[in-house]
Structure 1
Amino acid sequence: MYPATALQALIIGGSVGGLAAAHEMRAVGAKAAVYERSAGRMEARGAGIVMQDLLVRLGMSAQSVSVQLHERQQLNLDGKITRYTAPQLMTAWDTLYRALRDPLSDVCYRLNSTLGQVRVEGSEVTAEFADGYMARGNFLVGADGIGSATRRLLEPAVRPAYAGYVAWRGLEPESALPKELLELLVGRFTFFVSDGLQMLCYLVPGPDGELAERSRRVNWVWYTNVPEPSLPRLLAGRSGTTFTTFLPPGQILPEIAAELLATADVSLPPQFTELVRRSEVFMQPVFDVRPHRMVADHAALIGDAAGTVRPHTAAGTSKAFGDAVGLAAALRGWTPDRDLPARQLADWERERLSHLLALSRAGIESANRSSLGTAGARRFFALA
Structure 2
Amino acid sequence: MSPRLLIVGGSIGGLFAAVLLHRAGFDVTVTERSVHGLEGRGAGLVAQREVFAILREVGVEHLAHIGVTAHERIYLDHAGQVIHRQRTPQTQLSWDVLFRTFRELLPDDRYHTGRQAVAVVQEPDGARVSYDDGGQEKADLVIGADGVGSTMRVAVSGPHSQPDYVGYATWRGLVPEGQVPQMAAAQLFDRFAFYEMPGSQILGYLVPGPDGSTAVDRRRYNWVWYRRYTPDELDGALTDRDGERRPVSLAPGRVRPETVAAMKADAERLLPPAFAAAVAAEPRPFLHAIFDYAPAHMVSGRVALMGDAAFVARPHTAMGVAKAAGDAFALRDALTRATDLDAALAAYEAERAPAGAAIVAYGQRLGRSLG
Question: Where does residue 142 of structure 1 map in the other structure?
Answer: 144
Which residue number corresponds to residue 370 of structure 2? 372
Going from structure 1 to structure 2, the CA distance change for 1:45 and 1:243 (only over 3 Å counts) comes to farther
User: 1:380 aligns to what?
Assistant: none
- 1:295 is matched with 299
Q: CA deviation at 1:66?
A: 2.1
* Residue pairs, 1:1-384, within 5 angstroms: 5-42=1-38, 47-53=43-49, 54=51, 55-60=55-60, 61-81=62-82, 82-155=84-157, 156-279=159-282, 280-333=284-337, 339-342=340-343, 344-368=344-368, 371-373=369-371
SS at match of 2:28: strand
Q: CA deviation at 1:262?
A: 2.4
The alpha carbon displacement at 1:175 in A equals 1.8
- Contact map agreement 1:331 1:341 (CA 8 A) in 2: no
CA displacement, residues 177-228 of structure 1 (integer Å, 9 cap, x when unaligned):
2333223233211111111001111111111111211101111100011111
Query: Is the 8 Å Cα contact of residues 51 and 66 (structure 1) preserved in structure 2?
Result: no
**Contact persistence 1:187–1:203 (CA under 8 A):** yes
| Letter matched to residue 138 of structure 1 | D
Contact 2:67/2:91 (<8 A) preserved: yes
**Any conservation in 2 of the 1:331–1:345 contact (CA below 8 Å)?**
yes
Return 95-104 or 234-243, whichever deviates more.
234-243
Residue 51 of structure 1 deviates from its aligned partner by 2.0
Aligned CA-pair RMSD: 2.0
Q: Deviations over 1:52-111 (max 9, x none)?
A: 451232222243442222211111111111322112121343232112111213442111
Instruction: State the secondary structure of the residue aligned to 1:149.
Output: coil
In the superposition, the TM-score normalised over structure 1's length comes to: 0.88
Judge conservation of contact 2:122–2:155 (CA < 8 Å) in 1: no
Distance (Å, rounded) in 2 between the aligned partners of 1:225 and 1:46: 23
Identity %: 39
Closer, same or farther: CA 43–208 of 1 in aligned 2, 3 Å:
closer
Say whether the 8 Å CA contact 1:196–1:224 is kept in structure 2. yes
Q: Any conservation in 2 of the 1:48–1:204 contact (CA below 8 Å)?
A: yes
TM-score normalised by structure 2 residue count: 0.91
Supply the distance in 1 between the matched residues of 2:133 and 2:127 (Cα, whole angstroms). 18
Letter in 1 for 2:310: A
Secondary structure in 1 aligned to 2:331?
helix
Question: Separation in 2 of the partners of 1:64 and 1:137?
Answer: 38
Per-residue deviation, 1:164: 0.1
Contact preservation (8 Å) 1:65, 1:95: no
Structure 2 residue ranges without an equivalent (≥5): none
